[in-house]
Amino acid sequence: MSYQRFNQHALSEWMRGKGPRSDIVISSRVRIARNLSGLPFPMLATSSQSAGIVRKVEEALRHQNRPQVMEGAELIRMDDLEDLEKRVLVEKHLISPQLAEESRHGAVVLSRNEAVSIMINEEDHIRIQCLFPGFQPQEAWKMADNLDDWFERHLTYAFSETKGYLTSCPTNAGTGIRASVMVHLPALAMTQQLNRLFPAITQVGLAVRGIYGEGSEALGNLYQVSNQVTLGQQEEEIIQKLAGVVRQMIQHEHGARNRIQESSLTKLEDRIYRSYGILSNARVISSKEAMQRLSDVRLGVDMGLIPDLSAQVMNELMILTQPGFLQTRSKQRLDIEERDIRRAGMIREYLSMKRESE
């Protein structure tokens, strides 16, 4: 187990890369839920059965013909981690909150570049997750599909001829696929168009969730858009439907940005630079306010209004300012007030350092 390797940098490689439409689309993800035949789902499995599932995945990964992306991959057991270490993996989107908080004999297999995350004993026995920078749902699906095919050659999945792949939650049965795209929609939020847009998206079978998925809050105008239906649809159909809707969202966000720039440029610049000034000078700042201010500045960067910063710097700060990372970097547990003070200081120092290096 080498957790420290995955804690050295705030951003995974998939977040460092600049993918297509990266001014609006932060990342694309495909997750495939699978269970092993003849074993109860994780919520009903005994301790020995859950431990056995981890061993089966380990044994599969020892095969010589494993996919190239899994060379050098490491398995990390949740029982070996402190709560803060688990929280950091959640903040990096490498594991789910459920795996961090509730799983028995939970584990995760991480590829070297962190583009692949395989959760074990979360809601299902195996959840294969592939992450790509920017708008690349097809590429994420191709990698996830290849990994799924490889695992299926070494493990026996629970499968029904009529229901497809069997999953703990019935809403995931069938293909077992959950495809999602994380989008940054500050202009649509500013123009109050999200209240009309999101209901229209849900009517076509997609869901809009917060930054960490189901049940999480939307921070910094970041949203995850994903499919809701997995049964009765082909995999490619699911991916294409999601991609089509996200393309429309990108067009709406670009349109909102252009309209704001044409009609209210001074007000837009004032908002962006006020947030920039607060981030550069604040002595105390909450996580929620930091994310909102970073969203404003990220918009300014993407629109070319702040030329001496990069989108990657904003991505890094959106991760570094989260509670788990903040406390891990401080090497101590911090209460809310201490975190708000430490967060403000870290942002000031980071922005100053990045400005000097540009």
Same domain, 25 and 118: yes
pLDDT at 1: 43
Q: Which of 198, 230, 256 is the last residue of a domain?
A: 256
Tokens of 31: 């997750």
Residues 44, 78: Cα–Cα separation, whole Å: 19
End-to-end CA distance of the chain: 36
Q: Are 175 and 241 in contact (CB under 8 A)?
A: no
Strand, coil or helix: 272 = helix
**Are 178 and 69 in the same domain?**
yes
68 and 41, same structural domain? Answer: yes
Which residue numbers belong to the known binding site for ATP?
27-31, 93, 127, 178-182, 209-214
Tokens of 53: 């599932």
296 and 206 together in one domain:
no
179, 300: one domain: no
276, 245: one domain:
no
β 159-160/222-227 pair status: unpaired
**Summary mean pLDDT of the chain:** 90
Distance (Å, rounded) from C-alpha 67 to C-alpha 61? Answer: 9
- Which residues are annotated as part of the binding site? 27-31, 93, 127, 178-182, 209-214
241 and 271 fall within a common domain = no
Number of domains in the chain: 2
Q: What is the CATH number of the domain that holds 125?
A: 3.30.590.10
Q: Closest by alpha carbon to 276, among 257, 302, 292, 294?
A: 294
Query: Are residues 149 and 249 both part of a single domain?
Result: yes
pLDDT of residue 158: 96
pLDDT value at residue 307: 87
Check whether residue 159 and residue 70 sit in a common domain.
Answer: yes
For residues 120 and 193, state if they share a domain.
yes
280 and 177 both lie in a single domain: no
Which parts of the chain register pLDDT below 70? 1-11, 14-17, 103, 212-217, 354-358
Half-sphere exposure of 48 (CA within 13 A, CB side): 0
Domain termination residue (choose one: 238, 256, 274): 256
Instruction: Please tell me whether residues 238 and 194 are part of one structural domain.
Output: yes
Parent domain of 202: 3-256
Measure the CA–CA gap between 35 and 122, rounded to whole angstroms: 11
